Amino acid sequence: MRPARATAQDRSAARTALLFRWRGQPKAAFPKLLPLVLATLAFAVLLGFVRVKVAAPQFNIASKASLIQLPAAGEGVAWALRAKEGGPWLAKYNPADWSAYPALDAEVLQATRIPAQPYVPVLRQLPPPEPAKPQLLAAIGEPVLPRRIAAAAVHHDAAACHLAPVLYPLSALGAVGLPQALPPFTAEIDAAMAAADWRFLLRLHPAGGVADCVSLTKAAGVGLLERWLRGVTFDPKLAAGGGWLAIGIEFNNQPINGTDTR
């Protein structure tokens, strides 16, 4: 039995299929998956051998410290005060340490206390105001409004002032232990000297005078202030303990004629 003769269209399609391969030959899927399988096996091997342990860091704090013991008087007080002045928390004057502070506080509280009874003002009869007088028209060339006469002002001549050093306490000395009268300061005071923060450590001899003077401020004019402090006389009771006093110096304006001795 003869096969059916192919038509012209079938022959043309066969020639086109031989000349142009529109689709490639099917390939196996294993070569494509082989790199993925090898990479997975290598990652598994590395994950088995390399172990990373992540833990919180531990800080070991040494349980030891240094202790410096200073005597309660003499050089120990001076070294403790210098260490405190050199640190971030400087010594400051506390008003509660003043012995006269409770009495002054009570007096101020008593003076500012409001009385319990209500205040009733006393009325006073005022004189009737004078009626306004008619103002006459000014003549030609004269001012319309009356001439104002200025009231005479009373001028008080202020005394001439100059800068003078003043002491203030830095330790438990208190304002009561400061000397009331200070020797005159004859040296010239410039702007840099007046603006500096002067701090001194003083050691008194039994008579109340300054035996040793140590400056905690390094600035121009420190020698002048040290010589001036050696002429200041404190209460001899402060020298009984043989310790050191911490004081500060500031400058304020005082009359030259000596009316203000503070």
Mean pLDDT of 136-144: 72
pLDDT tens digit sequence for 73-118: 778 888 888 887 777 777 777 777 788 888 888 888 888 877 777 8
> For residue 206, what are the CA distances in angstroms to 115, 190, 233, 238?
51, 34, 11, 9
Interval 144-167: pLDDT, tens: 777 788 777 766 665 677 888 888
Which is higher by pLDDT, 25 or 193?
193
Contacts of 193 by beta carbon, 8 Å cutoff, 6+ apart? 219, 220, 221, 251
Of 73-77, 122-126, 131-135, minimum mean pLDDT range: 131-135
- Three-state DSSP class for residue 40: helix
Residue 9 has pLDDT above 80, yes or no: no
Q: Higher-confidence residue: 58 or 16?
A: 58
- Over the chain, what is the mean pLDDT? 77
143 against 130, higher pLDDT: 130
Q: What is the mean pLDDT of residues 25-40?
A: 77
pTM: 0.39
Q: Quick one: residue 77, left, alpha or beta (phi over 0 = left, psi -120 to 50 = alpha)?
A: alpha
Residue ranges covered by each domain of the chain:
161-174+190-255
* Residue 28 clears pLDDT 80, i.e. is over it: no
